[in-house]
Structure 1
Amino acid sequence: MPPARGCPTPRGGADRLERHGHAERARPAGGSYRFCPGVKVATVTELYWDPYDKVIDVNPYPVWHRMRDESPVYFNEKFGFYAFSRHADVDDASLDPETYSSAYGTVLEIMGDQPYDNGMIIFTDPPSHTMMRVLVSRGFTPRRIAKLEEHIRALSAQLLDPFVGTSGFDFVQDFSAILPSMVISELIGVDPADREEVRKLIDTTFHIDPEKGMLNDISFGAQIKLHEYFGAQIEERRKNPREDVMTALTEAEIGTAEGTRRLTTKEASDFTNLLVSAGTETVARLLGWACALLAKHPEQRAALAADSSLLPGAVEETLRFEAPSPVQGRTTTKEVELHGVTIPEHSKVLLLTASANRDERKYPGADTYDIRRKFDSHTSFGHGPHFCLGASLARMEGRVALEEVLKRFPTWEIDHDNVHRLHTSTVRGYEKLPVLI
């Protein structure tokens, strides 16, 4: 039955009742109302976004579009954070660590009043961040990365060949979640016999509790086990050096006022843990998004299958269109005035990198997926001091993995009835993505 004349109808889905704090209100899933012609209605839907809302997270882009247009400096009263959604603002903040600090945490759940003093590179600012980044970057030399290409190709074949001639497989669980873990494990030096266990522990660190989110005993338990494992491996490298990143970390030296020193076992273990976790999660989600997007755009998939030279551009467009890590947290070190909004000193600010990637001010036709798109950059790997150390490796993995997939499976369909999405406040993608081939 059509709506009564003069009644608003929701665009993009039925109304849903949403609870924010103690208030309840109805609003459409799509974000804005379509009104009947000739009727003047003053009511508009309230603009609301938070990184914990799983319903919004299914398709946050309409909300982010409104934020860019109506409230580029958005304030969420419930969780007490500001959010930047425009490309220019996200980019500027990423390049200004003196004003937007990472030292108080970069994930909303753990951002606090005091800076972290745990040696984690992602929770530091220059100049200490610069020093640690130089140390860690020794493990990601162009020579080391280039040597991995044939290994990535061989691993992809090993994972994909068993499914040739079958009816389908889970693209994430059987391929995209396994491949990057195996690659980063090779790079840092995890023993082959331990790699599957390490991968499972990494997966467990991202366990989401319905009430506690990522801050839960299961996740913490896996993090402790990983740290213990890497600590033992670092100690072993001190006695028996190898040609791997863990050995490079044991040999790295930090300059201090008292002179130079080597990394402690805890510091080296923390670096290793971070590299493995970040190197696994980002690529797993990137490949999952590529699989889903190419299924939705079969003509572009056919072009890639016919011409592999298009793959680097397809990887960049996939990263722009669906950022695996869409939200990065910062804390202001001074009062900031932006778009007429005063942000007090020591405020939580979320940089919406995925929204920035869809900003039509930067990318014409931003909501169109186009593997041939020409653009100079995106924010999925960050910008400035915290630009992703493993970006070149992730790009290579994406290119090689997709080439190997398309060699074997030039077409596929998504089994939508059995898809499971992964949702955290900082990661967005697929946990299970069955494909029919």
Structure 2
Amino acid sequence: MNTASSEPLYYDPYKEEIWQDPYPVFRRLRNEAPVYYNEEYDFYAVSRYDDVVKGMRDAKTFSSARGNVLEIIKSGFEFPRGIFIMEDPPSHTVHRNVLSMLFSPKNMSVLEPKIREFCKFCLDPFKPGDRFDFVGDLGGQVPMRVIGMLLGIPDADLQGVREMTDAKIRSEAGKPMDAATSFSDGEDFAEYIDWRMEHPSDDIMTQLLNTEIKDETGITRKLSRDEILGMVTLMAAAGNETTGRLLSWVGKTLAEHPDQRRDVADNPELIPDMIEEVLRFEPPGAHAARYVTRDVEIEGILIPEGSSVDFILASANRDETRFEDGDTFDIYRRKQTHVTFGTGIHTCIGMALARLETRIAVEEIFKRFKEWDVDYPSAVFSSTTSVRGWDSFPVVIR
């Protein structure tokens, strides 16, 4: 594909006009500068599928211990223990193993009836001719309710928790996120943990309080309060942000491909494949940053020790050498592994839950309505670069 342009190549994830539709720039990056250096913000961007996969699987060279967001890596912020996506082995291995057992597909499937009932509650009021917001009326509600089920957070507190986690990743349009406010010490959730210590229940928070680990020093012990705070903070933020935005991309992408939307509506067995294609085509987590621990060469470019690298997952997912016609949405595409959930030791631990929530939500949508028109003038794109999507995505049901 010829991607030559008279305009100088420039990639900046904070630039609104790029971030709202980054794919033309991503295409040029893959073809013209697969390892791109942004001088203003001092980071390297890696855009080809093979390079992204290789880099993210090399956790020794590309470290997560300083964070997985460019602004946080640059800030030198020290994370509380337990936020394992911001850790390297051996502490990462210890903490991830704890949640891997709790977030198994088997355990997640137990949630299906509860998720379905809540989706029905959200969707039952809507009928043809009504306005429906894929975020405000569903995508912003279901993930937080599920996290509440898992952690034992009271329903009355969930909206406040959602607003709190959302505020931490906000950035002023056109500017990097303020790393100083993006993460707390986890005390936002301390009252829930302290309550569960006195009132155990059948939820993940209680299980965490009772879990024993063999830590990186070889000592067998229970998780500390700080470790549990870190894990709960991470689960609340990650569970709320990405899945909600994924549902908005489902609404947008299917609206723009009405023939495929009709196929899915008429054949519910296509829903899982459709979700995988939306995940590839419009990943809510569009990139993941790493700190470079040694000099390393990619595509003939030397990246010095101490640098920050941005692995552009959304670009890798459309790499023409991996995905034929990568910029085309096709629910009938030959099955290939995308990198929306990452790869290597930091592959997203909540991917089974994200797929489950999205599948149930889409199934329940199509039971009630099969077509909608997007109110683009009223849609609000999110002012955050750590995840990509919509704060509001209103449609009119047909």
Q: Quick check: 140-149 or 380-389, which moved more?
A: 140-149
- What is the alpha-carbon distance in structure 1 between the residues aligned to residue 115 and residue 321 of structure 2? 37
2:289 is equivalent to residue 290 of structure 1: no
Query: 1: distance between equivalents of 2:369 and 2:281?
Result: 23
Larger radius of gyration: 1
| Cα distance in 2 between the residues matched to 1:196 and 1:67 | 39
Q: Specify the code of the residue in structure 2 equivalent to 1:125.
A: D
Partner of 1:380, secondary structure, is coil
How far apart, in 2, do the equivalents of 1:336 and 1:62 lie?
Answer: 28
2:59 to 81, 91, 97: 97
Aligned-partner Cα distance in 2 for 1:340–1:258: 41
Residues 150-165 of structure 1 mapped to structure 2, 5 A cutoff: 150-165=113-128
One-letter amino acid of the structure 2 residue matched with residue 240 of structure 1:
H
Q: Per-residue CA shift, 1:256-276, capped at 9, x if unaligned?
A: 436222222222011111111
Corresponding residue for residue 247 of structure 1: 206
Sequence identity of aligned pairs in percent?
41
TM-score (norm 1): 0.86
Q: Does residue 342 of structure 1 match 2:302?
A: yes
In the alignment, structure 1 residue 333 sits paired with structure 2 residue 293: yes
* Structure 1, unaligned runs of 5 or more: 1-30, 34-43
CA RMSD of aligned residues (A): 1.9
Pick closer, same or farther for the CA change 1:216–1:46 going to 2, 3 Å. Answer: same
Q: 2:125 is paired with a residue of what secondary structure?
A: helix
Unaligned runs of 5+ in 2: none
CA deviation string 1:188-228 (max 9, x = no partner): 221223222222222222332358643278x56xx65x933
- Amino acid of the structure 2 residue aligned with 1:151: K
The normalised TM-score by structure 2 is 0.94
| CA-to-aligned-CA distance 1:320-368 (integer Å, 9 cap, x gap) | 0001011100011111112111111111100000000010110001011
> C-alpha separation between the residues in 2 aligned to 1:286 and 1:198?
19
1:317–1:371: 8 Å Cα contact kept in structure 2?
yes
Conserved in 1, the CA contact under 8 Å of 2:67 and 2:289?
yes
Match of 1:38 in 2: none
Corresponding residue of 2:171: 208
Which of the numbers 48, 53, 65 marks the counterpart of 1:86? 48
Deviations 1:84-111 (A, max 9, x none): 0000011111111011101122111111
1:304·1:311 contact (CA, 8 Å) conserved in 2?
yes
Task: Tell me, yes or no, if the aligned pair for 1:289 and 1:322 is still in contact at 8 Å.
Answer: yes
Q: 2:19 aligns with which of 57, 63, 83?
A: 57
The range that moved more, 226-235 or 160-169, is 226-235
Equivalent residue runs for 1:405-416 within 5 Å: 405-416=365-376
Is the aligned partner of 1:231 residue 2:156? Answer: no
* Residue 376 (structure 1) shift: 2.5
SS at match of 1:349: strand
Q: State whether residues 281 and 314 of structure 2, in contact with CA within 8 Å, keep that contact through their aligned partners in structure 1.
A: yes
Q: Residues 413-424 of structure 1: matches in 2 within 5 Å? A: 413-424=373-384
Question: How many angstroms apart in 2 are the aligned matches of 1:91 and 1:286?
Answer: 22
Q: 1:114 to 1:205 in 2, by over 3 A?
A: closer
Amino acid at match of 1:67: L
Counterpart-to-counterpart distance in 1, 2:129 and 2:163: 26
Cα distance in 2 between the residues matched to 1:374 and 1:177: 31
- Check the 8 A contact 1:188/1:245 in 2, yes or no: yes
Closer, same or farther: CA 410–361 of 1 in aligned 2, 3 Å: same
1:430 aligned to 2:393?
no
CA–CA distance in 1 between the matches of 2:218 and 2:346?
27
Amino acid at match of 1:72: P
> SS at the partner of 2:265?
helix
Deviations 1:226-268 (A, max 9, x none): 9334212112222222111111111122324362222222220
Does residue 68 (structure 1) correspond to residue 14 (structure 2)? The answer is no
> Aligned letter for 2:235?
L
The 8 Å contact of residues 67 and 74 in structure 1, kept in 2 or not, is answered as yes
2:189 and 2:233 in contact (8 A); partners too: yes
- Counterpart Cα distance in 2 of 1:67 and 1:315: 26
Alignment of 1:10-409 (within 5 A): 33=5, 44-112=6-74, 116-119=78-81, 120-210=83-173, 213-215=176-178, 227-256=186-215, 257=217, 259-409=219-369
Secondary structure (helix, strand or coil) at the match of 1:376 reads coil
Query: Which structure is richer in relative contact order (CA contacts within 8 A, separation 6 or more)?
Result: 2
Q: SS in structure 1 opposite 2:270?
A: helix
Assess if the C-alpha contact under 8 Å between 2:84 and 2:96 holds in 1: yes
Code of the aligned partner of 2:151: I
Distance across 2 between alignment mates of 1:142 and 1:288: 24
Q: Cα–Cα, structure 1 residues 113 and 302, in superposed 2: closer, same or farther, change >3 Å?
A: closer
1:165 deviation in Å? 4.5
Q: Secondary structure at the match of 1:330?
A: strand
Counterpart code for 1:268: I
SS in 2 for 1:305: helix
Contact in 2 for aligned 1:320/1:354 (Cα 8 Å):
yes
Q: How far apart are residue 290 of structure 1 and its match?
A: 0.6
In the alignment, what sits opposite 1:27? none
Q: 1:337 to 1:212 in 2, by over 3 A?
A: closer
Q: 2: CA distance between counterparts of 1:174 and 1:300?
A: 24
